[in-house]
Every structure is written in C-alpha cells, then in structure tokens.
Amino acid sequence: MYHQSFCVTGSRQSSGQKISKTSGYWKSIYVEIKAPRHIGYILDGNRRWAKKHGLPTYEGYLAGYNALKDVIHATADAGVEYISFYTFSTENWNRAEEEVRGLMRLIRRLFKSDIKELMRKGYKLVVLGGRENLPEDVSKMIDDAEEVSRDGTRATLAMCFNYGGQQEIVRAAQRIAAEGIDPSTIDEKAFANYIDHPDVPPCDLIVRTSGEQRLSNFMLWRSAYSEFIFLDKLWPDMRKEDVTGIIEEYNQRQRRYGK
C-alpha cells in the first residue's frame, strides 16, 4: 500500500518528464515522475459513508461528489491527461427510487452549473454510456456539456454514466454491424474505433475505493493491461493528498503488457 506522506511537485507534464515546482499543492521535493496518461476511478463507498455518519444516502453521494472535484484537480495537476470516473452504472437503475432521484439531481447539477467551473479550469468533458432510459433533459444536457467543453486542454474528463463495460462492447459491435463491415477485417485496433468516445485511450491505472477488489463492469475493453490500486478508505474520504500516493505507487510498478 502506498505511503500517504509521499509528496511531489507537479504541473501538467507528459509521462516521464520532470515536474515543475510551481503549481497547486504539489510543492515539496523535486523528483522525476511518470504520470499515467489515463487514470480511471471507481467511486465506491458513498452509501456506506453516509450510514457510518448517520446521514441520508443522498448526503453520502453529495460528499462523494465534492471529493471527486478535489481528486480531479489533483490528478490533472499531476500531469494525467485523461481522468475517467464511474458515476452511474446501468445496474444502478435497480436501486431505490429515492436514491436514483438523488443521483440524477447531482448529475443535473454537474451538467447545468458545475460544467461552467470545469470549462474555466480548462477541462474537456465526454460522457461514456448509453442514452437509453435517460430523461430527455439529461440527454440534452450531455450533448450541450460535451459541446461547450470540447476545446478544453487541461485534461479530458471521461464520465461513465448509464455505463456498463459489457454494454459498451455490444454497442461497438452494433455499430460495426450497422456499417456492414466485413468481419474478417476487424482486429483489436479496428474494433477500438467503435467503442464509446474512441479517442479516450486505455486505462493505465484503475483506482477503486472502499476495499472492494473488482471491476464491476468498468472499462472492460480499456482495462486489458491496466494496473490496479485498491484503497480501503471510502470514496467521500478521498483527498488531494491521496492522489500523491497513487502516483507514487504507480511509479513503483513495472508494466509488462503480457511480455
């Protein structure tokens, strides 16, 4: 497990480059760091956090939402170009109606108001997932948010909403079939052009909180050679400093890609 006391300096740099001493909270020792190009976060433990603190479930999601914003900024400051986060799975529709309403309230807040803050900070937002079952206004908000943030260069935020990894692969196969492409011409590289937002690269690192150690249908295509870090803390307890430890742990890994 990583050491939470580890600290580096950082600004947005590509993998393997030295990190500057000038930005954000990344002010300490000057080290050479390899920032993953793409980190995926599985935001687990919001409901347990609410129960632990004697709060309604919605308050757990709200605390998790606030933690997500801190983690996003810290991850971008570390030089990560793509940040994906699992906000709502296709299976989440089966949860209590009140809980789903609360989640949709936060989603609308992101797309209607908080997207402006993300734009000011230079982020690009893309949404992975199906549009089936979505309220019409939410589907339109997704289109609008992607459009207004499309020129962001600080980092790309890949929001996995109404998302399932298996369903994403099925959608890719359906798109290929709809174009009448000869199956014998399809290989891994060609197939990758038909998944949701194919410009989002494979995950270098997937981080899951709450102590659970499973993918839960997250990024199945993009996780073929991912590194994994599982943290015992609940998602709402995540802070900027945790990103420091995550990057440190990643730098201790040797990626072999099956070799």
Tokens of 245: 């430890």
- State the burial class of residue 45 (Cβ atoms within 10 Å of its Cβ: 0-12, 13-18, 19+): buried
pLDDT tens-place string over residues 74-107 = 999 999 999 999 999 999 999 999 999 999 999 9
Mean model confidence pLDDT for the chain: 89
> At 130, which amino acid appears?
G
Helices (H), 41-195: 46-52, 57-77, 97-109, 115-120, 136-148, 165-178, 188-191
Say if 11 falls within a structural domain: no
Closest CA to 239 of 74, 84, 76: 74
Say if 233 falls within a structural domain: yes
Domain that holds residue 204: 38-251
Say if 258 falls within a structural domain: no
pLDDT tens-place string over residues 2-17 = 433 333 333 333 333 3
Mean pLDDT of 35-47: 98
Mean pLDDT of 15-20: 38
Cα–Cα distance between 67 and 232 in angstroms, integer? Answer: 16
- Among candidate residues 70, 92, 217, 237, the one labeled active-site is 92
Say if 29 falls within a structural domain: no
pLDDT tens-place string over residues 82-91 = 999 999 999 9
* 44 assigned to active site: yes
pLDDT of amino acid 225: 96
Domain count, the chain: 1
155-163: strand order across its sheet:
123-128, 155-163, 82-89, 38-42, 205-208, 227-230
Say if 16 falls within a structural domain: no
Say if 30 falls within a structural domain: no
* 204 assigned to active site: no
Cα Rg of the chain (Å, integer): 18
pLDDT of amino acid 259: 75
Is-contact 118 157, C-beta < 8 A? yes
To 10 degrees, the CA torsion angle through 99, 124, 216, 209? -80
Cα–Cα distance between 224 and 203 in angstroms, integer? Answer: 8
Closest CA to 39 of 89, 84, 88, 79: 84
Say if 4 falls within a structural domain: no
pLDDT of amino acid 4: 38
Q: Can you give the CATH number for the domain in which 129 is found? A: 3.40.1180.10
